[in-house]
Structure 1
């Protein structure tokens, strides 16, 4: 509800309001402006430039330009001329407002609504096309874009498409509740960090982050967290040991006991792509507060986020 109200506030309110915007102009007059919306804003007749005369009586008035659904231009009457300003409403709340990443969405919603955004699926531009992608707005400050997940033994038979470095696109709209997803060319989001998160059903068990590893779009080594940092770890065993890819099933399986070996142990699955062995939580051992039935070989989903 908060985000819907924010959308109305930023774009469609007919009431008087104030919005801070940044201009594409380079002169001193157009670096920043405070826009006071009035009755002109509600009369959004399509125009490339306002037909209303800009003079002393209309000084400071703003008119929303609907000749484009993507640029979100507001014309401001300043010193007897209409100056175009670029709104930044790319909040990801609709297709038309698709943002470049979850990090941008978090910034826009926080700035415009003065409230923390909700973790959920938002609209993001992927190769200039709007796609629904899950954004984690809570972990480590939020703004994380989900780019891969796998629920291991729930997804049999496994396939090459499921590897995090595969070129197969499958919507990433939720990090939990089973299934798998993958967004190729993860570097297209211009990330600086990546995060590996493990869930039991809908409960977060551990999360670690590191510097974005550009190999993630090419081979299994892209799952290695560079300069890792623990965000949270609820494991009964090996708490504080970062997850790392293991070469049983390259691009899918991870280890959490010997993160620098890459060819032994597993906390997810072992065996092969065609004959996987269940090793879920084998290195972690779920605490009874998360799983009372069993500490191993129960539901597990691993996810990778970038920002």
Structure 2
């Protein structure tokens, strides 16, 4: 199979021979093309890793070429996406994709779950924890440096260690019962998310409700908990906004013996579960 680089060179050669470029073609620049095409940049070729398009400026307007750039569907190992937003559109489906963010340090492609139901532009799953189903440890905290691929919403835990490589200006916290979303809230991206020992990174700045099916505390955004009853970076609460030591909706793992409180301040509606609390619960964090 031809590599992307060879296909790029062949396409450039085709343009030169076909007469598509009737000026002195210049070197190919990697990145986005400029806003305008004029005599100053006539003959310039630009390649965008995001769109996989080669763009030619003929001195008057841009012409885009992309038929030879990639024969692989975006989100595959051979053609990884830079962010979930690359896939946005009517055909975008929630699922697992291969991603390779643009970073200053080379990074290998990795699999990640992209959700297009919470936000239309797509959200990347960067952390999750299934309470009671998973016995917690320090590796599972929201600020852990241990990487465990976030590829689906099944019971378990996951963590993207280098969250700063994931694009997105929004942050979402969502809670699920066996894959059914119970509540989801979005906010401005918290710059502390994933930073060492920063449990505060899970706080949603300027939270806005996306959906909330709780029969109690409906409209109250979830927050991390760090009181004596909680484990920082794992415990969450949906009660008393701005008070991070008062209560919890997840398991009180730090108590001896542990006191279970799943959905305690949410209370599940009967259409989701006839057991209104103390039943399966998964909390997830996304970047959108």
Q: Scaled by the length of structure 1, what TM-score is found?
A: 0.70
Aligned to 1:160: 138
1:244 is the counterpart of 2:223: yes
Deviation at 1:217, TM superposition (A): 1.4
User: Number of residues paired by the alignment?
Assistant: 242
Q: Distance in 1 between matches of 2:57 and 2:167?
A: 36
Aligned to 1:173: 151
Q: CA RMSD in A?
A: 3.2
Q: What CA deviation, in whole Å up to 9, does each residue of 1:100-158 have, x standing for no partner?
A: 1111222xxx2xxxx331111111115532111111111132410100000021011x1
- Structure 1 or 2: more helix by fraction: 1
The one of 130, 143, 148 equivalent to 2:127 is: 148
Give 3-state SS (helix, strand or coil) of 1:167's partner.
coil
8 Å contact kept, 1:120–1:135:
yes
Deviation at 1:272, TM superposition (A): 1.7
Aligned to 2:18: 54
- What 5-or-longer segments of structure 1 have no aligned partner? 1-43, 60-67
Stretch of structure 1 that moved more, 184-193 or 128-137: 184-193
Q: Distance in 2 between matches of 1:264 and 1:222?
A: 18
1:118 is the counterpart of 2:93: yes
- What 5-or-longer segments of structure 2 have no aligned partner? 1-6, 23-46
8 Å contact kept, 2:129–2:283:
yes
Superposed, 1:27-176 pairs within 5 Å as 47=10, 49-50=12-13, 53-55=17-19, 72=52, 85=65, 92-106=74-88, 110=89, 115-126=90-101, 128-156=107-135, 158-174=136-152, 176=153
Q: Distance in 2 between matches of 1:273 and 1:202?
A: 28
8 Å contact kept, 2:81–2:98:
yes
